[in-house]
Amino acid sequence: MTLIEILKAKGKEDPEIIAAKINGQPADLNTPVTEGTEIEWINISSPEGLEVLRHSTSHLMAQAVKELYPEVRVTIGPAIEDGFYYDFDCEKTFTADDLIRIEKRMKELAGKNMAIERMEMPKEEAIKLFDKMGENYKVEIISEIPDKTVSCYKQGDFLDLCRGPHIPSTGRIRSFKLLNTAGAYWRGDENNRMLQRIYGTAFPTQTELDNYLDKLEEIKKRDHRKLGKELDLFSIHDDIGAGLILWHPKGAIIRKTIEDFWREEHLRHGYKLLYSPHIAKLDLWKTSGHTEFYQANMYKPMEVEGQDFQLKPMNCPFHIMIYKSKLNSYRDLPIRWAELGTVYRYERSGVLHGLLRVRGFTQDDAHIFCRPDQIQDEITSILDFTVELLTTYGFDRYDIYLSTRPEKYVGTVDNWEKATDALRNALEIKGLPYQIDPGEGVFYGPKIDIKIKDVLDRAWQCTTIQVDFNLPEKFSLSYVGEDGRQHQPIMIHRALMGSLERFFGILIEHYAGAFPLWLSPVQVKVLPITDKQNEYAEEVRHNLDSAGVRVETDNRNEKIGHKIREAQLEKIPYMFIIGGREAESRNVAVRMRKEGDIGALPLEEAVNKVTQEISLKR
């Protein structure tokens, strides 16, 4: 008896159930089972159900493409977060009109409600079959499968290699949308042929799809690259190089505000500040292991007076050398050092993305050298610091992961267990919910990763806290213990924001460019209605400037409505509007970005209102 027959027999046939788990393994509803089998039904709205739906929709798209463009060869089409894609080998480049045509054909095929059937066949038979079909990519994939048999799925005349599971029929695919196209190398290797990738998404209901598409439109409006240009915050120029950021005055003043706050808070939390150079001898990176483990992300060395120097991909070795510059005692630990250190990493041009993926960036880096018995307290302190800092920027929702020992690691199992327990205990002491990410620790130690959630509920990797047994050993670090002997310290790597560039990009999108007052590049714009108020407007500007407020005056010969609209487009938090009445009474008419007009206030009171809000970092 098949799973779907069991549902019918029990009177539980439900269009929401699209697959199942048999003894924990995903399976199609047409899968036969024996009595006593453990069955867990998969609902279309569950994470597993969405994955099945979207993977089935990618097959439907591939079928439509093959019917419309028979010369196309198919490759792979997985479900991904929020959707799916399929890669095609074809001479033409798919256009927006092609996507409309493909989507229309998909709807026609879905309307036929074709059964989706699983077929298993010997590997050699499958190779012959796909070779006859001219699908050489499928032949390549099958050739690498170690099993003697492979599974395929058939719907109408379309056959595709796939492990499954899939929904029972195409009729259950109702709410989908093709989104965009992109180029993609076969298997991600730039030495292979460039393919055409079509992205799409699918949901159980049209309402869910519409909500998702509305969210995508909002994401487009908030795109930091678009807003960065409109608000004159930063730019990237081909003449300088891809992935290298130019900070314009308005972006630079926000960066300075972030840096000043960062330094003040680190000093308050017991850190000392460091600065290090941008290059070092290549031998340093050989000792650290970067040339072995991170070579693909490092630029080629440069020769200086017969010696090879390397642009730094990380700051860690510099902090280590400062530690080694003197003898340290157990009484000196923990040592907390922080640096806004600019690093350089090679990223392929295809993955560069505005501020979010760059080739030169500044890490809010810190390293803590401590004794093994101090790890838990240090981690707890870092977590407190992280929550304080991120909350100040408006982020109070997180996804937290504790990554444990991988298969390949350095150090002793005992040290790994102690460090992992310290990380776990610190999270539990602080009451922070977390997920275990088994085996995903870095080779030198376990770690905590914190992903912040923005206003659109998107997760962004920012904070990382890593325990390191490797570098202290490689660089022979030590401290004199209470017993008078040499002991090896534990090194904790941590970054709270990740990088200034990426964090700034996240802030732009989180606030849609309408930064809170304390971060805004221009906090107040003074708007005289006519030239007659220019003298008083200058006095207002001077008072604000003297109070430490970032202020500009718009004294152009334009109508006040035009000036207000422009200030609104520039997302200025406060506007002080000055007409004849305000100049005579030494008031200002206050207009706020969100609240609109709030009435006239005496100048001193208006300035105090702004400075108090800035001090509270609102």
What does the pLDDT average to over 512-516?
97
Amino acid at 502: R
- State how far the Cα of 284 lies from the Cα of 307, in Å rounded to an integer: 12
Per the structure, how many domains does the chain have?
A: 4
* 343-374 pLDDT, tens digit each: 999 998 888 999 999 999 999 999 999 999 99
Which DSSP category does 248 fall into? P
Same domain (yes/no): 180, 247: no
Active site (annotated) includes residue 367: yes
Is 470 inside a domain boundary?
A: yes
Q: What is the CATH number of the domain that holds 332?
A: 3.30.930.10
Residue 11 has pLDDT above 70, yes or no: no
- Set 312, 424, 447, 563: catalytic member: 447
- State how far the Cα of 113 lies from the Cα of 375, in Å rounded to an integer: 59
Active site (annotated) includes residue 152: no
Tokens matching residue 294: 């991170």
What is the pLDDT at residue 5?
Answer: 80
What is the pLDDT at residue 13?
Answer: 63
Q: Percentage of residues in the chain with pLDDT exceeding 90? A: 85
* 273-297 pLDDT, tens digit each: 999 999 999 999 999 888 887 888 8
- Set 152, 162, 316, 462: catalytic member: 316
Same domain (yes/no): 19, 167: no
Same domain (yes/no): 184, 78: yes
Looking at 173, 192, 218, the residue that finishes a domain is 218
Looking at 454, 485, 511, the residue that finishes a domain is 511
What is the pLDDT at residue 59?
Answer: 97
What residues contact residue 279 under an 8 Å CB cut-off, 6+ apart?
302, 309, 310, 311, 312
Is 13 inside a domain boundary?
A: yes
Is 206 inside a domain boundary?
A: yes
pLDDT band at 12 (very low <50, low <70, confident <90, very high): low
Looking at 511, 532, 555, the residue that finishes a domain is 511
* 79-116 pLDDT, tens digit each: 998 999 999 999 889 999 999 999 999 999 999 999 99
Same domain (yes/no): 559, 462: no
Is 339 inside a domain boundary?
A: yes
**H or E stretch covering 566:** helix 560-569
* 413-464 pLDDT, tens digit each: 888 898 899 999 999 999 999 999 999 888 888 999 999 999 999 999 999 9
Selection from 265, 259, 248 nearest residue 522 by Cα: 248
**H or E stretch covering 564:** helix 560-569
Min mean pLDDT across 59-68, 347-356, 573-582 is at 347-356
Is 385 inside a domain boundary?
A: yes
How many CB atoms are closer than 10 A to CB 391? 11
Residue 556 has pLDDT above 70, yes or no: yes
Is 66 inside a domain boundary?
A: yes
Is 559 inside a domain boundary?
A: yes
Same domain (yes/no): 51, 36: no
- Set 172, 367, 405, 510: catalytic member: 367
**H or E stretch covering 545:** helix 534-546
Same domain (yes/no): 6, 147: no
- State how far the Cα of 88 lies from the Cα of 76, in Å rounded to an integer: 8
What is the pLDDT at residue 337?
Answer: 98
* 17-38 pLDDT, tens digit each: 888 898 888 898 888 888 778 8
Same domain (yes/no): 411, 337: yes
Q: What is the CATH number of the domain that holds 212?
A: 3.30.980.10
- Set 63, 155, 363, 376: catalytic member: 363
- The phi, psi pair for 286, rounded to 5°, reads -70, -45
pLDDT band at 387 (very low <50, low <70, confident <90, very high): very high
What does the pLDDT average to over 534-550?
97
Same domain (yes/no): 19, 74: no
Active site (annotated) includes residue 363: yes
* 126-179 pLDDT, tens digit each: 999 999 999 999 999 999 999 999 999 999 999 999 998 999 999 999 999 999
What range does the domain containing 557 cover? 524-615
Is 57 inside a domain boundary?
A: yes
pLDDT band at 300 (very low <50, low <70, confident <90, very high): very high
Strand runs labelled E in 397-514: 398-403, 435-437, 447-453, 459-468, 479-480, 486-487, 490-499
Active site (annotated) includes residue 454: no
pTM: 0.89
Same domain (yes/no): 378, 269: yes
* 193-217 pLDDT, tens digit each: 999 999 999 999 999 999 999 999 9
- State how far the Cα of 405 lies from the Cα of 424, in Å rounded to an integer: 13
- Mean of the per-residue pLDDT values of the chain: 94
Residue 232 has pLDDT above 80, yes or no: yes
| 422, 388 Cβ separation under 8 angstroms | no
- State how far the Cα of 469 lies from the Cα of 453, in Å rounded to an integer: 31
Same domain (yes/no): 270, 345: yes
Q: What is the CATH number of the domain that holds 583?
A: 3.40.50.800
Which DSSP category does 187 fall into? G
Q: Which residue has the higher pLDDT, 11 or 544?
A: 544
Same domain (yes/no): 432, 359: yes
| 349, 242 Cβ separation under 8 angstroms | yes
Active site (annotated) includes residue 493: yes
Expressed in percent and rounded to 5, the helix, strand and coil fractions of the chain are 40, 30, 30
* 175-192 pLDDT, tens digit each: 999 999 999 999 988 889
- Set 138, 345, 571, 591: catalytic member: 345
- Set 28, 87, 160, 365: catalytic member: 365
Q: Percentage of residues in the chain with pLDDT exceeding 70? A: 99
Same domain (yes/no): 529, 568: yes
| 149, 123 Cβ separation under 8 angstroms | yes
- Set 493, 525, 571, 591: catalytic member: 493
